[in-house]
């Protein structure tokens, strides 16, 4: 009776382990392309015919680590594996989920690039699956350390099912409690084909300026391969090629996605890029222009243009201005007194936030003092009409001040002395008053004397009697 009970307990123990052992470690990536701490993963698979929940299970890499239920920490899928379903245990679930399809579960792992033993432990503390890898020279970047088809073992010794142990009733009680030894075999195989993509570009760029986007594609051996790369810049535009240029027309933050496919393999990378609007302040001189960057970051004005009456000037590639700094550009033939403006590589006028023009004393020496300088400030918003008015205002003011001070003033004074007339540019009321009181010559006074004064004198000096008779006056 005692032997029968022991046999039944042994069979129950064996059956429980066999069910748990249907979840096995399938593949291990210990040395991924790029950062090991972000790209490491272990693939597991439910090889049984029924669904199995791995909730409460742990991953062992020298220490036990909990499995985080998706979608926490960027995970995807669930902790219940259907028959023949695989899942990735990842150190960074969001990174691995962007590279592979299927279920991704976040956990903590630290895998050695030469050798390691990892285990999968169920909720009761039983070791479900064990895998070991070893390479004295170290695994190459992107190479699978434990490829599909490698030898992984469960906690159940395979010798328990051999014909030599069919008579379980003769097994002593101590042997039931003795832990079973597991023998592992190291197998080194060629890595499974895989595709990896690395995108390179500046994270902070300038509005309107062409930005260089570059991508590299690698296979599982870490060798660079030729594959078409497709770009989505996040602003509704796209390009294809290893190396492309793109200009952003609006400031903001964009998600740039680069992806490629080859032989049914897929790889992509997603990165964020920030586009800033440059805040440029100008100081124009004869044959030179000083640009002051008041933006929050360094700016790039490569391929921007200065257009003026004598021609145009294109800023060379990699024309960078540090934040809060000024740069002086030599522009031969540039005259600040003429109309000019700044133009983007898309042939659009760019609003000049603030500018100052200085008159030079000669073509070779630039005057440091600028008594006839004019300053205009406009809105920071890209308003082409406002920019043009500001530029015209500065140009007209410059010309008028020079003409009045050097030519017109002397001519107006001479004209006033000669003709005894007020300045036509003075107050209109003064001019009206002058016209209302014209000058009178001597003829006017002679006429007035003959008409009024002489007859009055004649009456005064006429005898009184004669006056009485003449006018028939009575006493």
Instruction: Check pLDDT > 50 for residue 156.
Output: no
Instruction: Report the 10 Å Cβ neighbour count for 136.
Output: 6
- Distances in Å between the Cα of 360 and the Cα atoms of 272, 343, 368, 411 are 47, 25, 8, 26
Identify which of 332, 338, 378 has the alpha carbon closest to the alpha carbon of residue 355: 378
Query: What CA–CA distance (Å, rounded) separates 146 from 150?
Result: 6
CATH number of the 285-396 domain: 2.60.40
Q: Which residues of 314-349 are buried (b: 16+ CB within 10 A; e: fewer)?
A: ebeeebebeeeeeeeeebeebbbbeebbbbbbeeeb
Answer whether 370's CB lies under 8 Å from 356's CB: yes
Of the options 3.90.700.10, 3.30.390.50, 2.60.40.10, 3.30.43.10, the CATH number for the domain spanning 195-276: 2.60.40.10
Q: pLDDT tens across 256-305, in order? A: 999 999 888 899 999 999 999 888 888 888 788 888 888 888 999 898 98
Position 230 confidence tier, pLDDT thresholds 50, 70, 90: very high
Q: To 5 degrees, how large is the angle CA 390–CA 396–CA 398?
A: 105
Domains 2-177 and 285-396 fall in the same CATH topology: yes
Residues forming beta bridges with residue 285, ordered by sequence position? 288
Pick the residue with more confidence: 351 or 131? 131
Domain ranges of the chain: 2-177, 195-276, 285-396, 442-471
Identify which of 331, 321, 328 has the alpha carbon closest to the alpha carbon of residue 278: 321
Answer whether 334's CB lies under 8 Å from 328's CB: no
Instruction: Check pLDDT > 70 for residue 373.
Output: no
User: C-alpha dihedral over 456, 460, 464, 468, to 10 degrees?
Assistant: 10
- For the beta sheet containing 305-308, the strands, ordered from the edge strand earlier in sequence to the opposite edge, are 311-314, 305-308, 340-343, 349-350
pTM: 0.38
Instruction: Check pLDDT > 70 for residue 411.
Output: no
Query: What CA–CA distance (Å, rounded) separates 337 from 356?
Result: 11
The pair of structure tokens assigned to 83 is: 């028959």
Query: What CA–CA distance (Å, rounded) separates 413 from 83?
Result: 106
- Sign of the alpha-carbon torsion through 357, 361, 367, 373: negative
114: phi > 0 → left, psi -120 to 50 → alpha, else beta; which? alpha
What is the distance of C-alpha 239 from the center of its chain?
17
Position 210 confidence tier, pLDDT thresholds 50, 70, 90: very high
Q: Which CATH superfamily is domain 2-177 in?
A: Lamin Tail domain (2.60.40.1260)
139: phi > 0 → left, psi -120 to 50 → alpha, else beta; which? beta
* Per-residue model confidence (pLDDT) at position 56: 93
55: phi > 0 → left, psi -120 to 50 → alpha, else beta; which? beta
Q: pLDDT tens across 327-347, in order? A: 888 887 777 777 788 889 988
């Amino acid at each position: 009776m005692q032997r029968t009970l022991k046999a039944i307990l042994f069979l129950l123990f064996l059956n429980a382990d066999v069910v748990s052992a249907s979840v096995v470690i399938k593949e291990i990536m210990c040395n991924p392309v790029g950062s090991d701490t972000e790209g490491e993963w272990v693939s597991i698979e439910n090889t049984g015919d029924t669904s199995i929940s791995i909730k409460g299970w742990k991953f062992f890499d020298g220490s036990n680590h909990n499995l985080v239920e998706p979608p926490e920490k960027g995970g995807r899928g669930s902790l219940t594996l259907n028959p023949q379903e695989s899942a990735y245990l990842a150190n960074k679930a969001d990174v691995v989920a962007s590279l592979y399809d299927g279920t991704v579960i976040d956990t903590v792992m630290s895998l050695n690039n030469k050798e390691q033993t990892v285990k999968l432990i169920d909720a009761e503390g039983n070791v479900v699956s064990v895998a070991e890898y070893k390479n004295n020279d170290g695994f190459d970047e992107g190479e699978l350390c434990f490829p599909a088809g490698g030898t992984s073992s469960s906690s159940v010794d395979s010798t328990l099912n051999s014909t030599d142990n069919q008579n379980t009733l003769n097994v002593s009680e101590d042997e039931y409690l003795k832990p079973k030894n597991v023998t592992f075999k190291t197998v080194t195989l060629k890595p499974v084909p895989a595709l990896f993509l690395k995108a390179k570009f500046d994270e902070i760029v300038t509005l309107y300026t062409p930005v260089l986007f570059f991508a590299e594609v690698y296979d599982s051996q870490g060798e660079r391969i030729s594959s078409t790369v497709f770009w989505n810049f996040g602003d509704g535009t796209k390009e294809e090629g290893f190396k492309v240029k793109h200009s952003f027309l609006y400031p903001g933050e964009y998600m740039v996605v680069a992806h490629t496919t080859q032989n049914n393999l897929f790889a992509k990378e997603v990165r964020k890029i920030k586009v800033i609007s440059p805040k440029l302040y100008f100081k124009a001189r004869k044959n030179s222009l000083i640009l002051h960057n008041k933006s929050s970051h360094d700016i790039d004005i490569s391929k921007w243009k200065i257009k003026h009456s004598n021609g145009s000037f294109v800023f060379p590639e990699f024309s960078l201005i540090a934040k809060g700094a000024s740069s002086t550009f030599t522009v031969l033939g540039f005259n600040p007194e003429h109309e000019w403006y700044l133009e983007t590589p898309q042939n659009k006028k760019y609003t000049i936030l603030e500018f100052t023009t200085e008159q030079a004393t000669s073509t070779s020496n630039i005057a440091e003092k600028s008594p006839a300088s004019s300053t205009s400030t406009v809105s920071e918003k890209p308003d082409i009409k406002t920019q043009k008015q500001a530029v015209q205002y500065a140009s007209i003011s410059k010309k008028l001040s020079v003409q009045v001070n050097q030519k017109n003033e002397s001519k107006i004074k001479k004209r006033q002395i000669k003709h005894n007339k007020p300045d036509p540019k003075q107050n209109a009321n003064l001019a009206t008053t002058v016209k209302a009181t014209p000058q009178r010559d001597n003829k006017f006074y002679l006429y007035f004397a003959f008409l009024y004064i002489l007859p009055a004198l004649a009456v005064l000096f006429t005898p009184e009697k004669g006056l009485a008779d003449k006018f028939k006056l009575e006493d």
